Chain A
């Protein structure tokens, strides 16, 4: 399934019953989440029963940032497979995301990458020691 758009306390997350196999949740299009949305999300995910567990893929930067700041954990039975890491070009005011798999060390990520538009530098738009915190806690 895909969770897209805003999670700000207004969205209704579906009752999935018991899911056969692994439930894969794609969070790439989740563009905004606040504390009300996180509370709904955590309460919802605790109710989901998937026979082979839940896997989060392509976790968007808004999701990763706020989960890292506020919650700092992913519930038991939930695995993170991949997250998106944003780079920002000040010149073009443009964001680009790199998808990285769990296991990639934060230190190995480049601090900047070339901007395809202006050929300048797109800077890593996260604070490494907070952005990767929730997943390190989960996997480490």
Chain B
């Protein structure tokens, strides 16, 4: 957050507790501002223990005990809806080590499917079971595209996916807009751009092959996410 919102209540949902998701928490300024409450939501049983880990010397000088009173923990039940104000959150399991829980957020007749940190090894309705509900008819799906498709084929059980897999999942589940992120931190801009170009070629070929098979046109929009982007649903 570049500017502090005018609120005393903050709501943070954690998909899982790998470092790249947790490391920013000690630098979340409202934690240290009197009168602010930080609601933290997660499915994992060891939520508080995971948070304590980052507030530990010598890695961080402020102990967890000092911020504990500002934090309110909420353990979510898998695949059970929770309402916060006008928003409804339902966690669904993703395919990632430890594991990661994606979330469907619904409100004002719109739905967001958050599916970062997933290898999407389960893709058929049979494999996904109830977890397919994460994606169904979502207005926006934010999907893990850390790798290009051929990289993802090599990196089995690394817990991340690629944009073409997300495209096919989105088409089947009737998603309106798919946004691809979690780009590989070790990739250059050029490599990410190349993965995007491959995805464009892949999608163009899908469109053509559907036309050849006289199937309905695709209504899916998709793009690679950019830093600082705001999406209006």
Say which one of B21-29, B103-111, B201-209, B225-233 lies at the interface with A: B201-209
Give the complex CA separation of A36 and B209 in angstroms: 15
A9-B123, A71-B149, A71-B150 known; A35+B167 contact, CB < 8 A: yes
A46 to chain B, nearest CB (A): 10
CB atoms of B198 and A42 under 8 A apart: no
Say which one of A47-55, A61-69, A100-108, A112-120 lies at the interface with B: A61-69
Give the complex CA separation of A42 and B154 in angstroms: 10
Give residues 203-225 of B contacting A (CB, 8 Å): 205-206, 209, 212-213
Task: Determine the chain A residues whose CB is within 8 A of the CB of B62 once the complex forms.
Answer: none
B168 at interface (Cβ–Cβ under 8 A)? Answer: yes
Query: In the complex, which residue of chain B has the Cβ closest to the Cβ of A6?
Result: B213
Count contacts on A: residues with CB < 8 A to the other chain: 21
Task: Determine the chain B residues whose CB is within 8 A of the CB of A65 once the complex forms.
Answer: 205, 209
B56 at interface (Cβ–Cβ under 8 A)? Answer: no
A8-B168, A10-B124, A66-B202 known; A35+B212 contact, CB < 8 A: no
CB atoms of A69 and B212 under 8 A apart: no
Count contacts on B: residues with CB < 8 A to the other chain: 19
A87 to chain B, nearest CB (A): 13
Q: What 1/0 mask marks residues of chain A from 50 to 88 whose CB sits below 8 Å from any chain B CB?
A: 000000000000100110011111000000000000000
CB atoms of B124 and A35 under 8 A apart: no
B87 at interface (Cβ–Cβ under 8 A)? Answer: no
B67 at interface (Cβ–Cβ under 8 A)? Answer: no
Query: In the complex, which residue of chain B has the Cβ closest to the Cβ of A70?
Result: B149
Give residues 108-126 of B contacting A (CB, 8 Å): 123-124
B158 to chain A, nearest CB (A): 14
Give the complex CA separation of A72 and B202 in angstroms: 12
B153 at interface (Cβ–Cβ under 8 A)? Answer: yes
Q: What 1/0 mask marks residues of chain B from 6 to 34 whose CB sits below 8 Å from any chain A CB?
A: 00000000000000000000000000000
Give the complex CA separation of A139 and B149 in angstroms: 22
Show 13 residue pairs from A and B whose CB-CB distance is below 8 angstroms, ordered by the A residue. Answer: A9-B123, A9-B168, A32-B209, A35-B164, A35-B165, A36-B168, A39-B165, A62-B209, A65-B205, A69-B201, A71-B149, A72-B150, A130-B201
